[in-house]
Chains A and B, each alone.
Chain A
Amino acid sequence: MTKAISMYLHVHQPYRVRNYTVFDIANRHDYFDADYDHRTSNERIVHKVAEKSYLPTNQRLLKLLNEHPEFRLSMSITGTVIEQLERWAPHVLQSFRDLTNTGRVEIVGETYHHSLAFFYSRDEFEAQVQMHREKVQQVFGQTPKVFRNTELAYNNDLAYWADRAGYKGILAEGWDKVLGWRSANYIYRPAYTENIRLLTKNYRLSDDIAFRFGDRDWSGWPLTADKFAGWLNGMHDAQVYNLFMDYETFGEHQWEASGIFDFLEHLPGEWLRTQGNIFTTVSESIDTFQPVDTVDVPQTITWADTERDLSAWLGNAMQSTAITNLYGLEQAVHQTGDLALIEDWRRLQTSDHFYYMCTKWFSDGDIHAYFSPYENPYDAYIAFMNAYHDMCSRLSQKGVLL
């Protein structure tokens, strides 16, 4: 029986808003240009992540692709990170291209700006998806056939849209509450669609690597490639193991000292040792396996937190104030025809900005705090809203009424 590992890695960096103050409003519009040494410096963060994660990971993936003709994987890479690599680390972008040049790395489509536009403006959402498609064609020479929405936010509407837009597959969290008795390790049909297939993340196995790998208190520690392959071989009721995670898992979330790179280097060899085991890209999973059932997801699910909903981005009053006000500018922004202004507005849509404002577990100093360049969610909100007010000031200067 054929069993596949389908690895999908997500590459993304936002344009973080610097400590943009009330004194800057209507005077300067450089929201995203922090001093290099500041915590919000995008250039510094790109350099750091490239060194700790992108370069060493790409080097190993390329070696694996060369050593194992059966090895393949998928990734998505946002427009905002591609731009930043082009500007500050072109050799790193080249190392991604070296991977796709093997013909065995599939790029998954998404919004250019890693936004939640789908829930606020369908026009804006489609524009950003198109932008991303063109960028991927230009940089990697391929056209995305499978879609993932920001934060893996998914519902029936999105599947319907992606089906109509011609995608052959769409990714979502394999959350028990929507899968019910079904296993994440099969291919499904989204409800109310015709051709598209649903691929669901096996969050237990994915999180073993992405979150628990370096945790010495975890019963699975230390996790080695042969042990992991053994677990997968031991599960009989499965066709494809969807291991979806942030690219930065390798070297950034899990540091090199945790042994994460050794794990990655040995996983293909250990998996392929067993007859019938293969690797697939997301498109190949759809070509290889038949859907077994239909999945109905009326509510929106994401890959975040225990709630698996959008509350990490939209759960408090600051977050909803910020995002509703921002999308409220849509018409005015487009009326200006000012490309720089439109681009700034889009950069402010990146979901990370709203994530930094999350107060859910701020006091406990958990994962939300770890990924934020701000001292607290309030500082993130203040900087963002000041930038928003500057957008308004630019719009009124252009004579666009609000």
Chain B
Amino acid sequence: MLGWELPPHNSGGLGVACFQLCKALSKKGADIEFVVPYTADHSGVTFMRVNAAHPQDVQAVIRAGIAYDSFKYVKSTGEIQFVDLFGQVAIYEKAVERIVEEAAFDVIHAHDWLTCRAAIRAKTMSGKPLILHLHSLESDRAGKPFGGNPLVREIENTALLLADRIVAVSQHTKDAIMREYEIPGDKIEVVHNHYDPSGLIAPIGLENAYTYLEDMKKQGYKVIANVGRLTIQKGLPGLLRAFQKVVHFAPKTLLLMVGSGEQRNELIALSAELGIGQNVLFADFQRGKGYRDAYTVADLFVMPSVSEPFGLTALESIGYGTPVLLSRQTGVSEIIKNALKVDFWDVDEMANKMTALVQNDALRDELHANSLREYLRYSWDHSADKLLDIYDKHLQSQPMETAA
């Protein structure tokens, strides 16, 4: 299995999804060798072998750009690890080449464009079937159809054509693959992500990390939270514009933004321009308690994404006790029916629904109780079964080695 990150060295949902998916697959008997582009302590992973493709530390990879950055170029300073993301992709490809020469395996399962070149190389060398699993497309990251870095698009396109089977994390992503690259739909299988409830961690300590928000809640304030990168894909300017209207109707409402990204300064400026600076709090990127407590302190979690292939954080939020408002342009809205839903561009409707929720406990409680029930009904097991089926089909269809 070719991946780019695993928790705790992850920058977002990709690592979490790979980790939980592999866990479910291995429980069902899959023998997985997971290749990441860095050396790190993965002693917490007991269900599969984690292999560093290349001896370098995590920071070198992260400095080159996180799994979602495809635009970021860092100039080389002469140090060999200090390469940009495309350089990392090339190093990874070389390293995987060495591994393929030595390792024995039946199927190549690769995640996202960063591993695509390596995956193609592995397939060319070994002749084994390639399953390409897409958690995000370049057009998602660019926040617009047919957008993004042409070099990345070329890699995605080539890999999609060469893959034996494509796995999309949602119907939304499948549609995007068909739209962006004209790949026939019958080559693409939708296997929804999940967030394993065992990943939910009980609150540590009695106090929520957001002491100020807790105090304000005691004074009758309500909290809306967004957790994610501050980037164009996430539709956050629209959220701020909608939130301005919420504050008009329900002044005792606060918006907590957890995450970092290239839009950070723009969003801070926008909230000031909109006159809601005092109601919006930017908490920067968080891990651990600061991350989890953002969900628990909130009355509503919003995911207003322009294009979200899946959206694991929505499931985490439900798991932590907070109902969600989702844009219809998210994969997770395909499996969670008990959510408030809006189109990301419909700022007024977003404001209408957020206002209703912060003003109405019956709505909040009912929404959460039902979404939790729905969330707990899904599991990775089902997704793992689907993937094993795909493996089996491609193993059976391998050309038989004949004696002739």
**Do A and B belong to a common assembly?**
yes
Which of B19-27, B50-58, B209-217, B335-343 faces chain A? B335-343
Determine whether B366 belongs to the interface, using a CB cutoff of 8 Å to chain A.
yes
**Contact call A363/B341, Cβ cutoff below 8 A:** no
CA distance A382 to B354 in the complex (A): 10
**Contact call A375/B341, Cβ cutoff below 8 A:** yes
**Contact call B356/A382, Cβ cutoff below 8 A:** yes
Question: How far does the Cβ of B217 sit from chain A's closest Cβ, in whole Å?
Answer: 20
Contact of A362 among B341, B348, B356, B370 (CB under 8 A): B370
**Contact call A363/B338, Cβ cutoff below 8 A:** yes
**Contact call B338/A382, Cβ cutoff below 8 A:** no
Which of B82-90, B190-198, B357-365, B389-397 faces chain A? B357-365
Main secondary structure of the interface of A (DSSP, over half): helix
**Contact call B340/A378, Cβ cutoff below 8 A:** yes
Question: How far does the Cβ of A391 sit from chain B's closest Cβ, in whole Å?
Answer: 15
**Contact call B338/A23, Cβ cutoff below 8 A:** no
CA distance A299 to B85 in the complex (A): 70
**Contact call A363/B351, Cβ cutoff below 8 A:** no
**Contact call A363/B355, Cβ cutoff below 8 A:** no
Known: A362-B338, A376-B341. A321 touches B355 (CB 8 A): no
Determine whether B349 belongs to the interface, using a CB cutoff of 8 Å to chain A.
yes
Determine whether A2 belongs to the interface, using a CB cutoff of 8 Å to chain B.
no
Interface code A272-307, partner B: CB below 8 Å = 1, 0 otherwise? Answer: 000000000000000000000000000000000000
Nearest residue (CB) in A for B356 is A382
**Contact call B365/A317, Cβ cutoff below 8 A:** yes
* Residues in chain B near residue A318, CB distance under 8 A: 362-363, 366
**Contact call B356/A22, Cβ cutoff below 8 A:** yes
**Contact call B352/A382, Cβ cutoff below 8 A:** yes
**Contact call B337/A362, Cβ cutoff below 8 A:** yes
Known: A22-B351, A362-B370, A375-B341. A386 touches B356 (CB 8 A): yes
Interface code A302-342, partner B: CB below 8 Å = 1, 0 otherwise? Answer: 00000000000000111011000000000000000000000
Question: How far does the Cβ of A173 sit from chain B's closest Cβ, in whole Å?
Answer: 27
* Residues in chain A near residue B351, CB distance under 8 A: 22-23
CA distance A99 to B360 in the complex (A): 47
Interface bracket on A: 20 to 34
Q: Of B353, B361, B370, B377, which is in contact with the most chain A CB atoms at under 10 Å from its CB?
A: B370
Determine whether A21 belongs to the interface, using a CB cutoff of 8 Å to chain B.
yes
Determine whether A385 belongs to the interface, using a CB cutoff of 8 Å to chain B.
yes
**Contact call B337/A363, Cβ cutoff below 8 A:** yes
Question: How far does the Cβ of A21 sit from chain B's closest Cβ, in whole Å?
Answer: 4
Contact of B352 among A21, A359, A376, A381 (CB under 8 A): A21
Known: A363-B374, A376-B337. A22 touches B366 (CB 8 A): no
CA distance A378 to B325 in the complex (A): 11
**Contact call A359/B249, Cβ cutoff below 8 A:** no
**Contact call A22/B352, Cβ cutoff below 8 A:** yes
CA distance A359 to B339 in the complex (A): 12
**Contact call A317/B366, Cβ cutoff below 8 A:** yes
A window 374-402: CB within 8 A of B = 375-379, 381-382, 385-386
Determine whether B132 belongs to the interface, using a CB cutoff of 8 Å to chain A.
no
CA distance A376 to B363 in the complex (A): 12
**Contact call A381/B363, Cβ cutoff below 8 A:** yes
* In the complex, the 7 A-B pairs of residues with the closest C-beta atoms, listed nearest first: A317-B362, A21-B352, A321-B362, A382-B356, A22-B355, A22-B352, A318-B362
Q: Which residues of A contact B (CB under 8 A)?
A: 19, 21-23, 316-318, 320-321, 359, 362-363, 365, 375-379, 381-382, 385-386
A-B pairs with beta carbons under 8 Å apart, 18 shown: A21-B349, A23-B351, A23-B352, A316-B366, A317-B362, A317-B366, A318-B362, A318-B363, A321-B360, A321-B362, A359-B366, A362-B337, A362-B338, A363-B373, A378-B340, A378-B367, A382-B353, A386-B356
